[in-house]
Amino acid sequence: MFTKEEATKDVPREENMELNVDEVIERYVGSFGLPQLLQVMLVSFAWVFDSQNTLVTIFTDAQPSSWRCKTSADPSLSSSWCMNNTASGGDGNKGQSASHVCGLAAGSWEWIGGNSASTIAEWYLICHRKFLAAIPTSLFFIGSIIGCAFYGRLTDVWLVRKKTLLLACILTSTTTFLTSLAPNIWVYSLLQFANGFAHSGNGICCLVLSTEVVGRKWQDQVGQYGFFFFTAGVLSLPFIAYHTRTYWRYLYRIISLPPLVYAFLLVSLVSESLCWLLVRGKNKEALEVLQKFAR
């Protein structure tokens, strides 16, 4: 809590009274000025990474739409046998369903678009291996649940919220890039768990850092800004995925870069949590943050 004397150096002294953070902001800083808007927008931008990492598997783990018989298969395999056992798919040697290849001889067919278009195509997660395709996404969300509990405790006890968000962005960037290097489905699944754990700190910190710097009447609206950026992240994925459609690893590498760049901007442009500073008795630092927003 601030006393009135602490909160306002240049305001005429009146009776001694205690003010909470919301009252100080509304009376002496302003409910929603330009410095506060910049803080809200910059902090909320981290939701872009949250949505990209949550939904990227829609493209990287997609099942290829069609396959075809190889025209130059192993001489010991009969090309005519492959074509005769191919389900109807538009022409004589193409199929539209991956389930139809389960009875075909290995090496007699191939994915249209190549084996690098998705994890399913590269590691043949079809037929008797189909159940493996669900493991990475499941572990991602398990990691997210555990990460929420971890980051919630971390922000309250050990690290300030700004540093926690910084840590989450760096870990998100690192785990996303490492995912692009996964040699098999098992390593890929573990990295998805790590990525889910890493990214879950974004939402926890963003909501607090963006809403507590504005007046009460703006807090509900500002709390929704993050979802606009979340949607922007969702809309950006198809565009990126289209240009990396032949190699799923490129998609992970591209979306691993923005969180790292953002982390550098975060250090210098985002102010620390006012409430956290006050709870820890750091009144001087809290006043500096308020003065920054009052300019």
Give per-10-residue mean pLDDT for the chain (295 aa): 52 52 70 81 91 94 81 50 49 52 73 84 86 94 93 79 89 96 96 95 83 79 86 95 93 95 86 76 76 72
Per DSSP (E only), the strands in the chain are: 2-3, 18-19, 67-69, 94-95, 109-111
CATH superfamily of 31-60+134-293: MFS general substrate transporter like domains (1.20.1250.20)
Q: Name residue 111's beta-bridge partners.
A: 67
Query: How high is the pLDDT of residue 139?
Result: 96
**How many helical (H) and strand (E) elements, i.e. helices and strands, does the chain have?**
14, 5
Residue 176: per-residue pLDDT: 97
pLDDT at res. 280: 74
Closest CA to 165 of 44, 280, 285: 44
The domain spans of the chain are 31-60+134-293, 67-112
What is the 8-class DSSP label of residue 8?
-
pLDDT of res. 55: 94
pLDDT of residue 109: 76
Q: CB-side exposure of 50: number of CA atoms within 13 Å?
A: 24
Question: In angstroms, rounded to a whole number, what is the distance separating the alpha carbons of residues 133 and 128?
Answer: 11
pTM score, whole prediction:
0.80
pLDDT at position 67: 78
CB of 231 within 8 A of CB of 175? no
Which run of H or of E encompasses 5? helix 4-7
pLDDT for the residue numbered 112: 80
Say what the pLDDT of residue 117 is.
86
Whether the CB-CB separation of 198 and 144 falls below 8 Å is answered with no
| Pairing state between β 2-3 and 67-69 | unpaired
pLDDT score recorded for residue 98: 56
pLDDT recorded at residue 80: 52
Q: Angle formed by the axes of helices 47-55 and 216-243, to 10°?
A: 40
